[in-house]
């Protein structure tokens, strides 16, 4: 836990640590992880070393897909993945962390590849209750675009990994995304992601949403439109859709 590497912490704990560790030890590990997370890796490192000098930082991979910052001071090195460690311990020990707290952990680093974000993301994807879905999607109304992007990450996982028909929320997610795309999302980066996730869903208004945004001034948004207009299956598109596709094919931005 002290070292701040979720990969190492997970390997040491192994499978089902809740069944092997006494309650007092589980509480101790949770308290330790929370202390490090709230203190911050640099603060905890300075507490341990007593050194006032500059901290050396490096961005490193903690596992195959996710990154952390590695901090070194006074001969001691820690990684800043304590948020992910805390989330993983809570999940392993069957602690139901409030959704708002998980969302806050996910976006605190402002880094889509950080382990804190991915740990919160997979935890929320595994909690397929109506209450969790509603609490997550409520953050789409918040002023922070990072939180809105994280909502979309969760929804995309729900669409990609449907556990069963009762709790995949495919219909509700598609309806929400269509309304979101039509509701005047003012951040182009977020809007582009709304359209990307919507393309993973099934909805009668996909084509209409695509036509609405085919002329958007931001190329990131326009680049997400073609698959909404025509996915290569079904009947041939109508005249308006064909015209929009032709215009997008000749777009001045090569990413489109």
Compute the average pLDDT of residues 158-178: 83
Place of tokens 């951040």: 187
Distances (CA, A) of 87 to 57, 123, 221, 233, 241: 23, 8, 33, 42, 46
List strands edge to edge, sheet with 67-73. Answer: 56-61, 67-73, 76-79
The residue whose two tokens read 């589980």 is 26
Residues 18-45, mean pLDDT to the nearest whole number = 95
Residue boundaries of the structural domains of the chain: 1-127, 132-256
Total-model pTM: 0.92
Q: Sorting pLDDT into bands at 50, 70 and 90, what band is 37?
A: very high
Residues 202 and 91: their CA atoms lie apart, in Å, by 32
pLDDT exceeding 70 applies to what percent of the chain? 98
pLDDT digits (tens, 9 = 90+) for 39-96: 999 999 999 999 989 999 999 999 888 899 999 999 999 999 999 999 999 999 999 9
* Cα 160 to Cα 122: distance, rounded to the nearest angstrom: 12
DSSP lists the bridge partners of residue 60 as 68
Q: What is the pLDDT of residue 205?
A: 94
3 state SS of 169: coil
Contact 120, 106 (CB under 8 A): yes
Residue 164 has pLDDT above 70, yes or no: no
Nearest-CA neighbor of 88 among 135, 45, 66, 121?
121
**Which of the residue ranges 129-133, 172-176, 250-254 would you say has the lowest mean pLDDT?**
250-254
What would the pLDDT profile of 90-136 be if each residue is shown by its tens digit? 999 999 999 999 999 999 999 999 999 999 999 999 998 999 999 99
Average pLDDT, the chain: 93
Q: Tell me the backbone φ, ψ of residue 136, rounded to 5 degrees.
A: -65, -50
pLDDT score of 185 more than 70? yes
């Amino acid at each position: 836990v002290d070292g701040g590497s979720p990969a190492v912490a997970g390997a040491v704990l192994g499978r089902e640590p809740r069944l092997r560790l006494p309650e007092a030890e589980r509480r101790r590990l949770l308290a330790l992880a929370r202390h490090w997370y709230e203190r911050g890796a640099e603060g905890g490192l300075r507490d341990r070393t007593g050194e006032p000098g500059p901290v050396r930082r490096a961005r490193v991979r903690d596992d195959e897909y996710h990154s952390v910052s590695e901090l070194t001071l006074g001969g001691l090195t820690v990684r800043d993945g304590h948020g992910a460690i805390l989330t993983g311990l809570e999940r392993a020990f069957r602690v139901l962390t409030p959704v708002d707290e998980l969302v806050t952990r996910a976006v605190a680093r402002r880094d889509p590849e950080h382990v804190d974000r991915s740990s919160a993301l997979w935890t929320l994807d595994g909690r397929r209750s109506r209450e969790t879905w509603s609490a997550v999607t409520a953050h789409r109304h918040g002023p922070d675009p990072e939180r809105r992007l994280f909502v979309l990450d969760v929804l995309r996982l729900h669409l990609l990994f449907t556990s069963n028909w009762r709790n995949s929320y495919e219909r509700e997610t598609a309806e929400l995304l269509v309304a979101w795309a039509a509701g005047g999302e003012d951040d182009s980066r977020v809007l582009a992601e709304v359209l990307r996730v919507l393309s993973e869903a099934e909805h009668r208004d996909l084509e209409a949403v695509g036509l609405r945004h085919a002329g958007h001034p931001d190329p990131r948004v326009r680049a997400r439109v073609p698959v909404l207009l025509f996915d290569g299956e079904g009947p041939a598109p109508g005249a308006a859709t064909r015209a929009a596709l032709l215009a997008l094919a000749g777009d001045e931005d090569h990413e489109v």
